[in-house]
Structure 1
Amino acid sequence: MGETIGRSLITSAVPPVVPPGSLATLAQPVLALAGDVELRPWRVSDADALVAAGQDPAIRRWNLLVVASAAEARERIARMGARWRHEQGAIWAIARSGGGPAVGLIGLDGLDLAGGSAEILYWLLPAGRGRGAAVEATRRLSRWAFDDLGLHRLRLCHATANEASCRVATKAGFAVEGTMRSALLHEDGWHDQHLHARIRDGYPTAAR
């Protein structure tokens, strides 16, 4: 960790929360959920699920996802693997156990290993809705991010008008920290966003 200014090297006195290379050296795991559902890496054969997500009105409204073709979907899936290797993100398919089809996506975006933080994002296709899969997936990924990867803080943001995502975040243990005004441009204009967050339990805090 350092920054070069001129010929001098300034090194931070604060060590990285998660050392560089910690993610890239791991094989992306399969994480089991209740109800015969699992989180697994995306596969090229999941391209049709990404195309369907890009056409789903609810997913497009809140996630700004547009996938025009199976070829574009396959490119996105390849980038998911590259982001893991480059420690820029970690994306899973929410799928039926035992190799079933993908019914959603969940992952860590804006991954900052040195700072120990990331943002959770997710969406579900109609086939995956209505059974609490988003809540369970968010809880399970949070445990992995804290206990296995070693992150300190996870945030989850959603448009204030997206009441379903607010319920998911709250049920998954993400407290509301505030409202970010006019924070994200959707197809229908600028939206305020709720900022939710969770902190790794038992982590020591600085003395006041």
Structure 2
Amino acid sequence: MPFTRGDVLTPGTLARSPQPEISGDGLVLRPWTAADAPQVYEAFQDPVMHLWAIRSADSEEEVRGWIEQWTRVWRTERAAQWAVADTGGSRLLGRVALRDMLLGDGVAEVAYWTLPAARGSGVAPRAVRALTRWAFDDIGFHRLELTHAEANEASCRVAEKTGFAFEGVKRSALLHQDGWHDMHLHARLQDDERP
């Protein structure tokens, strides 16, 4: 049975080209490299990360496996992961990603984290703005969502600063170490006013 409408983004939109480097707001979003493993491992030792991340890192070897997966996933067009770095591209500051991509619907979820030393300097909002600009303007996504634990006030501020409108609460939607968390749902549409 045929669909009554075409795809918003066709298969191959991302995979036909190498994963790009994205610059903006004094940051570089670049593909991950194996050399990033020690810093990612250190990031996952941080107690704040343990509050909100649903995975932990037991070794740099384990993290190298994550990075291999993050670089391969681009071709699947289901997710895309970038290292957030300074303008020289060498100092790792965090991660930003598009997850749960549905190209046919033109929808994806934005995710991010920052290293402890980068927190409070606007890295997360700047990275989200740069990724959002690329996803809407260069690729043509229609809707980007951003979810975070209701208790994660810092992530709520990132959503607000980057123009992701609050749409509601997904009750008991994500299991963390300390139990089920309600999640805030924020979203931006391609034609929303830019922050």
Q: In the alignment, which residue of structure 2 is the partner of 1:102?
A: 92
Task: Please say if 1:93 is aligned against 2:72.
Answer: no
Unaligned runs of 5+ in 2: none
Matched position secondary structure for 1:111: strand
- For residues 120 and 13 of structure 1, the distance between their equivalents in structure 2, rounded to whole angstroms, comes to 28
- For residues 30 and 155 of structure 2, the distance between their equivalents in structure 1, rounded to whole angstroms, comes to 22
- For residues 4 and 141 of structure 2, the distance between their equivalents in structure 1, rounded to whole angstroms, comes to 19
Amino acid at match of 1:93: A
Task: Please say if 1:196 is aligned against 2:193.
Answer: no
Amino acid at match of 1:30: E
- For residues 99 and 171 of structure 1, the distance between their equivalents in structure 2, rounded to whole angstroms, comes to 24
Q: In the alignment, which residue of structure 1 is the partner of 2:54?
A: 64
- For residues 15 and 34 of structure 1, the distance between their equivalents in structure 2, rounded to whole angstroms, comes to 34
1:101, distance to aligned residue in structure 2 (A): 2.5
Matched position secondary structure for 1:73: helix
How many percent of aligned residue pairs carry the same amino acid?
Answer: 49
1:44, distance to aligned residue in structure 2 (A): 0.5
Matched position secondary structure for 1:92: strand
Q: In the alignment, which residue of structure 1 is the partner of 2:32?
A: 42
1:33, distance to aligned residue in structure 2 (A): 2.8
Normalising by structure 1, we get a TM-score of 0.89
Q: Superposed, which structure 2 residues align to 1:120-139 within 5 Å?
A: 120-139=110-129
- For residues 18 and 161 of structure 1, the distance between their equivalents in structure 2, rounded to whole angstroms, comes to 34
Unaligned runs of 5+ in 1: 1-9, 203-208
Q: Superposed, which structure 2 residues align to 1:70-81 within 5 Å?
A: 70-81=60-71
- For residues 183 and 139 of structure 1, the distance between their equivalents in structure 2, rounded to whole angstroms, comes to 26
Matched position secondary structure for 1:72: helix
Q: In the alignment, which residue of structure 2 is the partner of 1:112?
A: 102
Q: Deviations over 1:8-41 (max 9, x none)?
A: xx22121111000110012222222334x21111
CA contact (8 A) 2:43 2:116 kept: no
| 2:15 aligns with one of 19, 24, 34 | 24
Q: Report the count of equivalent residues.
A: 192
